[in-house]
Amino acid sequence: MAQRARRGIEMDVEGMNTALRRLCDKYGVAVDGRLVADAELAAGVRLEMVGGAVSLLPWRVERRFAELKKLIDGKTLEEVSTLRFAVMRNGARLGHLLYREFDLCEWMAGASIRKTFAVVAGGKVANVIVTFANGMSASVECSAALPEGAAEIDRHEIIARRGVACDRVVDTQVPQASIYAFTADGTKTYTDTDAELFGFSDAEIWAVRAAFAVLKAPALVAEWKKAGCDVKEKVMQTLACAETCVPAVFSEEI
Amino acid sequence: MKPVKIAMMSLTHGHTRKYYQTLLENAKLDWVASCAEDQSAKETYELYQTGVPCYLSANEMFERHPDIEAVVLASANDKHLAQVQDCARRGVHVLSMKIPTFDMSEYDAMIAAVDKAGIVCQIELEMHYNPVVHRLKKLIAEGTVGKIVSVQATNITLSPVWAFPWQGVPEASYGRRVPLKAGDARCRGGALCDHPHIFDLVRHLTGADFDFVYSSVAPNLRPELQVEDMLLVNGKLKDGTAFLFDPSWSRMEERLKVPGPGWEVFPKRMEVNVTVVGEKGTLVCDCFGPNVYHNGAPNDRYTVQYTYFDEWIGMIDEFVGCIREGKEPLINLRWHRPTLAAMNACYDSVASGGPCVVS
């Protein structure tokens, strides 16, 4: 199952809903929603609740991003200046890749994106420079051009006056794994991060965790809905402006 | 399932604070009380603002909370026997820290007390609930590398003695004062006592017990300690598997009284890496990585910010399940006994200078 999402196979939504119910039961949270597959969303699923559908932002509960955010909020890093984010994947929509990175940008920066200038090539690569309302900058490299079968490569670096933080270890260019298996069949890697959801792919794990976070703290519904709508609009305008080679500028309220 | 009324005792073990979140969040538990070993431990506990009342006497805690069903014994090793016997007398289930005792007669007295009372006694070997270890076991069970021929493993950390002083006191850590070897001023009770995990794990991975061990201590990195901080161990299991372990305190630390940011000097303060060589392949495994990294406050040093912390969740889940369903924990007193026998044999090997058969 762990390798399924990387091979582009659909999520096991039924299994994810079972896991979601198990978490809710364990932690005393009401099961007021269920996950539904939705290929139009970057997360690949949405959470259906009584009040309507919720677009999930699973990366916000992904452990590495949660820890990076803690480093900012806890003042381990002081006076952040620039974010350097990158993601390369195969078979993804460029808009979906930008959507995740833009939302991570705003969440980490603690400020909204005010201006973007994107250079797009071949419909599969976008290199974007971002300016935030608080003056910070970001570079966002997105590529949907990795060959079939290649594992996702990404990097999220935060540069501050005091300290640099990154989800990749120094002197490496690609994600490391927890286990490397060297056999006659070649080298296989395994990275498992969540014992309670062992066996699910990363995408499935963080979607379940995001749904659980919403059910546990319903105030997230409005927060994520607004963030998701804003970012979606910014991604669309960024890609549209790239065609005319002009910056996209955003007002405070979109 | 009715939540288990649980308490914590002593609060002087290095793992104490790691239980707080899961005891508070798990709906299958009702954390009702704590009791501290002394005023200092109580004051440290209060820094974490759990909202759970804390006493300075176990008797007072049990009198005020007669509904306590289970306890986490977060105490020094030399306290475990009396506490286990006290809990057994009260019919209270026990989750003990990783070294119940190194004294095998005490160990057997614990088994007798637990058996007589019919309580659950689980030993805290949290690696089993780590998702990477789960994958490692699965790959081996599926035959990915065939029959295991060798295991090399590290269980290396900083030294916790400045925050948890009993870990540097031979009587409290090892149970008595036993010189490491002739002409050596140091005693048993240091880094080895802090790192039973790889000794336990190799038995699970192979299904075999220890045959013999050889161990050697190096000069201490911290010469002021009364106990060893650097040692190496190799040997064979009864199925012929060779092994080499590093269970040292080889990562330096700032001498903080309360663990917190800036504790580590080396970027990664705790590492458990395992290499499994099989007849059909090799697995190399980092049980606590990858993570995220920074060089920010307070010391501007390159530092690992861990993203692995599931161990306590799974372990407590198992403990609760054993209590409610009457099951035997994976790491129970009888299972764990040969692991401690092997660790004692390591000390015997250091003393003799030669290999030591594990009885």
A76 and B297 in contact by Cβ < 8 A?
yes
Q: Which of A183, A200, A202, A209 to mutate to test the interface with B (most CBs of B within 10 A)?
A: A183
Using beta carbons and an 8 Å cutoff, which residues of A are at the interface with B? 25-28, 63-64, 67-68, 70-71, 75-78, 160, 162-170, 175-184, 190-196, 198
Model pLDDT for residues A171-184, shown as the tens digit of each residue: 999 999 999 999 99
The residue count of chain A comes to: 254
| Edge-to-edge strands, sheet with B54-55 | B54-55, B29-36, B4-10, B70-73, B93-96, B121-123
Minimal CA separation from B50 to chain A, in Å: 17
The shortest CB-CB distance from B27 to any of A28, A71, A198 is to A28
Position A5 pLDDT exceeds 50: no
Rounded mean pLDDT of chain A?
94
B229 contacts B248 by C-beta, under 8 angstroms = yes
- Tell me whether residues B293 and A170 touch, CB distance under 8 A: yes
Check A70 against B139: CB less than 8 A apart: no
B329 beta partners: none
Residue A38, exposed/middle/buried by CB under 10 A (0-12, 13-18, 19+)? middle
Instruction: Report the 10 Å Cβ neighbour count for B116.
Output: 11
Supply the pLDDT for residue B27.
87
> Whose CA is closest to B197, among B252, B106, B282, B123?
B123
The Cα B78–Cα B337 span in angstroms is 16
- For residue B174, give the nearest of B359, B353, B348 by alpha carbon: B348
Q: Are strands B4-10 and B70-73 parallel, antiparallel or unpaired?
A: parallel
Say whether B286 and A192 touch across the interface (CB within 8 A): no
Nearest to B228 by CA among B175, B266, B268, B178: B178
Long-range contacts of A178-181 (CB under 8 A, 24+ apart): A178/B132, A178/B135, A178/B285, A178/B286, A178/B287, A178/B289, A178/B290, A179/B132, A179/B135, A179/B136, A179/B139, A179/B283, A179/B284, A179/B285, A179/B286, A180/B283, A180/B284, A180/B285, A181/B139, A181/B144, A181/B145, A181/B281, A181/B282, A181/B283
What's residue A1's pLDDT? 41
Mean of pLDDT over chain B:
97
Name the token pair of B11.
């609060």
| A182/B280 touch (CB, cutoff 8 Å), yes or no | no
pTM over 0.90: yes
Per-residue confidence (pLDDT) for residue A250, from 0 to 100:
96
Best A179, A182, A191, A206 residue to mutate vs chain B (most B CBs within 10 Å): A179
Task: List helix spans (H) across B26-95.
Answer: 39-47, 58-64, 80-90
pLDDT tier at A9 (50, 70, 90 boundaries)?
Answer: low
- CB contact under 8 Å between A165 and B282, yes or no, is no
pLDDT at A253: 63
pLDDT (mean) for A15-19: 98
Nearest to A227 by CA among A17, A20, A43, A10: A43
The distance of A113 to chain B (nearest Cα, Å) reads 25
List the structure tokens of A238: 């960024």
Q: What residues of chain A lie within 8 A of the CB of B261, using their CB?
A: 76
Taking chain A, what is the end-to-end CA distance rounded to the nearest angstrom?
39
Which residues have a Cβ under 8 Å from the Cβ of B293 and sit 6 or more positions away?
A165, A166, A167, A168, A169, A170, B267, B302, B303, B304, B305
Task: Tell me the pLDDT band of B310, cut-offs 50, 70 and 90.
Answer: confident
Average pLDDT over residues A202-213: 98
Residues A127 and A118 sit within 8 Å (Cβ to Cβ) = yes
* B243-265: pLDDT as tens digits: 999 999 999 999 999 999 999 99
| B135/A176 Cβ within 8 A | no
Decide if A48 contacts A36 (C-beta within 8 A). Answer: yes
pLDDT at residue A8 above 60?
Answer: no
Report the complex ipTM. 0.94
- For residue B136, list chain A residues with Cβ-Cβ distance below 8 A: 179
Chain A residues inside the 8 Å CB shell of B129: 195
For the stretch A87-108, pLDDT in tens is 999 989 999 999 999 999 999 9
User: In angstroms, rounded to a whole number, what is the distance separating the alpha carbons of residues A82 and A79?
Assistant: 10
Rounded to a whole number of angstroms, the distance from the CA of A207 to the nearest CA of chain B is: 18
